[in-house]
């Protein structure tokens, strides 16, 4: 299970033009993958209980798409599901109605971690009540015992474990606790039986926005024992998500020391009204990529805001950029041709060329980034404050041309951001942006073909080498950026 073979074909001659494409679409041999979403604390009692009773569908409506599109979705259940009275000295009575389990199932959750400091707030039978309510709703409880539960998604076996690492917990003796020897045995056993191992930890310092040092230390140990994902909850605010490889075996572990609150009532502390979704792509060899989405809470209801741009090497998929956790062998580009024989236009300067089927018609087209002498147009007149001209009096242009006769099929006569590299990638174009007077790459963009031309999607800031290969294992090439450096 521990290995990933990648075969990449990068060079392609540009026929009939006397120049070579710097990089053609790559082909990667990647195993099939699944998508798993992890969320932080879900609390359906106290101030949320009234919404659950009178307007239940509104609680998760703002994030339902993100929760249901994944193959597997899990979160931490911060509110025991019981009708019993709160009995522990802790004044935070978070218990919720057992009927609330149906809301979790309808929202798209498949399993819920229950190993946390509130697990036994209504007495020793609290956990029994919670487990029974979850199971009646078709949800799998995680963390009643140290042993993993396993779920099969499209032939990928996922092991889920949860441990309470908090102090002053009411769940001691009732749910799985952090005890290094038993945890190590459980995680190593899960790694032998499953393709992907995800471990939940509850604990840490509350309300701190920096990565929790205690939880990160536990995560490093879990990574050495075989965990692929460590997702934590308890601080109630969002902390950074990182990929680590402490044993240097080439298999990364994605660590979120706190995903904050997904659903909670008002706590009145900065950051507690925001959360994060961690989505990973995983296959039989672990996690290949991940992305983090920002959420917010208003009046006990969650809203998904946006997917955040990653900091390192990235792959574009499902409308956003994901952080890659595996090295990707992208070939180096050939020298850029500044003149392309036969290309029409006196005084035009070619910046980059590539060959590929960018419009999905089954035939290759030539894509050219070039400069031509400036002349006013509708675009420049709409944005008169924008700088359109380089130091030579030229403006940036991108065009798509037929191979046999260089007939133009599509031309952007005034590009807002100059393009230094063009990489065809399926029915899309990966572009590396520069500035008008400096060829240095400053960002990467993705231009999908929409039938009548390209439209731009989310740009990714920072220098890097763009390419194209199948990272997600679905047989379709994906835009990638490697060697990425932030400004």
For residue 30, the model assigns a pLDDT of 56
For residue 455, the model assigns a pLDDT of 83
**Average of per-residue pLDDT across 373-387:** 80
Are both 234 and 286 inside the same structural domain?
yes
Are both 452 and 341 inside the same structural domain?
yes
**Average of per-residue pLDDT across 230-255:** 96
> What is the β-pairing status of strands 229-233 and 253-256?
parallel
pLDDT in tens, 82-127: 999 998 988 899 999 999 999 999 999 999 999 999 999 999 999 9
The domain boundary residue, chosen from 304, 324, 344:
324
Are both 66 and 19 inside the same structural domain?
no
Token duo for residue 372: 């031509």
Are both 24 and 59 inside the same structural domain?
no
Are both 130 and 233 inside the same structural domain?
yes
Are both 216 and 354 inside the same structural domain?
no
The C-alpha atoms of residue 295 and residue 260 are separated, in whole angstroms, by: 9
What is the percentage of the chain residues whose pLDDT exceeds 90?
62
Sign of CA dihedral 222, 227, 231, 234: negative
**Average of per-residue pLDDT across 394-417:** 88
Residue keyed to tokens 């520069």:
434
3 part of a folded domain: no
The C-alpha atoms of residue 235 and residue 482 are separated, in whole angstroms, by: 33
| 3-state secondary structure labels for all residues of the chain | CCCCCCCCCCCEEECCCCEEECCCCCCCCCCCCEEEEEEEEECCCHHHHHHHHHCHHHCCCECHHHHHHCCEEEEEECCCECCCCCCCCCCCCCCECCCHHHHHHHHCCCEEECCCCCCCCCCCCHHHHHHHHHHHCCCEEECCCCCCEEEEECCEEEEEEEEECCCCCCCCCCCCECCHHHHHHHHHHHHHHCCEEEEEEECCCCCCCCCCHHHHHHHHHHHHHCCCEEEEECCCCECCEEEECCCCCCCCEEEECCEEEEECCCCCCCCCCEEEEEEEEEECCEEEEEEEEEEEEECCEEEEEEECCCCCCEEEECCEEEEECCCCCCCCCCCCCCCCCCCCCCCCEEEEEEEECCCCCCCCEEEEEEEEECCCCHHHHHCCCCCCCCCCCEEEEEEEEECCCCCEEEEECCCCCCEEEEEECCCEEEEEEEECCEEEEEEEEEEEECCCCECCCCCEECEEEEEEECCCCCCCCEEEEEEEECC
46 part of a folded domain: yes
2 part of a folded domain: no
Of the two residues 454 and 338, the one the predictor is more confident about is 454
Range among 208-212, 317-321, 423-427 with highest mean pLDDT value: 208-212
The domain boundary residue, chosen from 280, 304, 324:
324
The C-alpha atoms of residue 426 and residue 415 are separated, in whole angstroms, by: 22
User: Do 283 and 195 contact (CB within 8 A), yes or no?
Assistant: yes
The C-alpha atoms of residue 286 and residue 316 are separated, in whole angstroms, by: 19
The C-alpha atoms of residue 151 and residue 111 are separated, in whole angstroms, by: 10
Among candidate residues 204, 251, 270, 191, the one with its CA nearest the CA of residue 231: 204
**Average of per-residue pLDDT across 207-227:** 97
Ramachandran region of residue 64, left (φ > 0), alpha (ψ -120 to 50) or beta?
alpha
235 part of a folded domain: yes
User: Do 118 and 171 contact (CB within 8 A), yes or no?
Assistant: yes
For residue 468, the model assigns a pLDDT of 84
The number of C-alpha atoms within 13 Å of 242 and in the hemisphere containing its C-beta is 14
Residue 438, classified by CB atoms within 10 Å of its CB into exposed (0-12), middle (13-18) or buried (19+), is exposed
**pLDDT exceeds 60 at position 26:** no
Of the two residues 467 and 292, the one the predictor is more confident about is 292
**What pTM value is reported for the model?**
0.87
pLDDT in tens, 265-305: 999 999 999 999 999 999 999 999 999 999 999 999 999 99
For residue 18, the model assigns a pLDDT of 31
**Tell me, what CATH number does 275's domain have?**
3.60.21.10
Our count of domains for the chain comes to 2
Of the two residues 13 and 26, the one the predictor is more confident about is 26
In whole numbers, what is the pLDDT of the chain averaged over residues? 87
For residue 127, the model assigns a pLDDT of 97
Are both 119 and 192 inside the same structural domain?
yes
For residue 39, give Cα distances in angstroms to 67, 72, 159, 452: 9, 11, 17, 39
* Residue 65 binned pLDDT confidence (cut-offs 50, 70, 90): very high
**Average of per-residue pLDDT across 303-327:** 91
Domain of 395 in residue numbering reads as 12-28+334-485
* Residue 37 binned pLDDT confidence (cut-offs 50, 70, 90): very high
40 part of a folded domain: yes
Are both 17 and 73 inside the same structural domain?
no
267 part of a folded domain: yes
Are both 363 and 248 inside the same structural domain?
no
For residue 342, the model assigns a pLDDT of 62
The C-alpha atoms of residue 225 and residue 243 are separated, in whole angstroms, by: 15
**pLDDT exceeds 90 at position 52:** yes
pLDDT in tens, 151-170: 999 999 999 999 999 988 88
160 part of a folded domain: yes
Are both 68 and 148 inside the same structural domain?
yes
Backbone angles phi, psi at 5, to 5 degrees: -90, 130
Are both 236 and 374 inside the same structural domain?
no
* Residue 27 binned pLDDT confidence (cut-offs 50, 70, 90): very low
49 part of a folded domain: yes
For residue 17, the model assigns a pLDDT of 33
pLDDT in tens, 175-204: 999 999 999 999 999 999 999 999 999 999
The number of C-alpha atoms within 13 Å of 112 and in the hemisphere containing its C-beta is 33
For residue 49, give Cα distances in angstroms to 42, 88, 268: 12, 20, 18
For residue 345, the model assigns a pLDDT of 67
**Average of per-residue pLDDT across 40-62:** 96
* Residue 487 binned pLDDT confidence (cut-offs 50, 70, 90): low
Residue keyed to tokens 């032939």:
155
The domain boundary residue, chosen from 324, 357, 387:
324
For residue 360, the model assigns a pLDDT of 86
Token duo for residue 131: 């487990």
CA terminus-to-terminus distance, the chain: 37
Sign of CA dihedral 434, 439, 440, 441: positive
Residue keyed to tokens 């509350």:
206
User: Do 469 and 27 contact (CB within 8 A), yes or no?
Assistant: yes
User: Do 112 and 141 contact (CB within 8 A), yes or no?
Assistant: yes
User: Do 89 and 52 contact (CB within 8 A), yes or no?
Assistant: no
For residue 128, the model assigns a pLDDT of 97
Could you tell me how far CA 482 lies from the centroid of its own chain?
16
User: Do 295 and 461 contact (CB within 8 A), yes or no?
Assistant: no
For residue 1, the model assigns a pLDDT of 42
Are both 219 and 363 inside the same structural domain?
no
For residue 456, the model assigns a pLDDT of 77
Token duo for residue 148: 């993993």
């Amino acid at each position: 299970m521990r290995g990933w073979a990648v075969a990449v074909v990068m060079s392609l001659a540009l026929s009939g033009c006397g120049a070579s494409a710097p990089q053609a679409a790559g082909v990667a041999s990647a195993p099939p993958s699944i998508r798993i979403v992890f969320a932080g604390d879900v609390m359906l009692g106290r101030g949320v209980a009234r919404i659950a009773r009178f307007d239940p569908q509104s609680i998760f409506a703002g994030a339902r798409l993100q929760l249901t599109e994944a193959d597997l979705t899990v979160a931490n259940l911060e509110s025991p599901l019981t009708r019993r009275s709160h009995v522990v000295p802790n004044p935070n009575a978070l218990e919720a109605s057992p009927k609330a389990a149906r809301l979790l199932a309808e929202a798209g959750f498949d399993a819920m971690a229950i190993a946390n400091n509130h697990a036994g707030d209504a007495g020793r039978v609290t956990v029994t009540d919670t487990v029974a309510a979850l199971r009646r709703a078709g949800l799998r409880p995680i963390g009643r015992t140290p042993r993993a539960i396993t779920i099969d998604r499209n032939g990928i076996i996922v092991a889920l474990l949860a441990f309470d690492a908090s102090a002053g917990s009411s769940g001691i003796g009732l749910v799985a606790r952090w005890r290094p020897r038993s945890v190590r045995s459980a995680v190593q056993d899960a790694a032998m039986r499953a393709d992907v191992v995800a471990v939940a930890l509850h604990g840490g310092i509350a309300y701190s926005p920096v990565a929790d040092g205690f939880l990160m230390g536990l995560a490093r140990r879990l990574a050495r024992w075989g965990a692929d994902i460590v997702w934590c909850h308890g601080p109630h605010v969002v902390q950074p998500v990182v990929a680590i490889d402490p044993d240097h075996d080439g298999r990364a572990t994605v660590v979120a020391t706190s995903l904050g609150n997904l659903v909670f009532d008002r706590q009145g502390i900065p950051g507690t009204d925001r959360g994060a979704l961690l989505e990973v792509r995983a296959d039989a060899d672990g996690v290949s990529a991940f992305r983090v989405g920002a959420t917010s809470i208003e009046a006990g209801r969650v809203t998904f805001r946006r997917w955040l741009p990653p900091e390192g090497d990235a792959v574009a998929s499902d409308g956003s950029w994901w952080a890659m956790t595996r090295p990707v062998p992208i070939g180096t580009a050939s020298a850029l041709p500044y003149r392309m024989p036969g290309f029409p236009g006196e005084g035009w300067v070619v910046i980059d060329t590539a060959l590929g089927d960018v419009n999905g018609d089954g035939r290759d087209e030539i894509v050219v980034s070039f400069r031509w002498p400036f002349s006013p147009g509708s675009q420049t007149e709409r944005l008169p404050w924008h700088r359109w001209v380089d130091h030579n009096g030229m403006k940036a242009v991108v065009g798509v041309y037929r191979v046999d006769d260089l007939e133009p099929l599509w031309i952007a006569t005034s590009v807002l951001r100059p393009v230094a590299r063009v990489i065809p990638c399926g029915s899309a174009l990966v572009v590396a942006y520069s500035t008008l007077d400096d060829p240095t790459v400053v960002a990467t963009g993705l231009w999908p073909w929409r039938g009548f031309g390209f439209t731009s999607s989310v740009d990714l800031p920072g220098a890097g080498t763009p390419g194209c290969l199948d990272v997600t294992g679905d047989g379709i090439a994906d835009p990638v950026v490697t060697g990425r450096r932030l400004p």
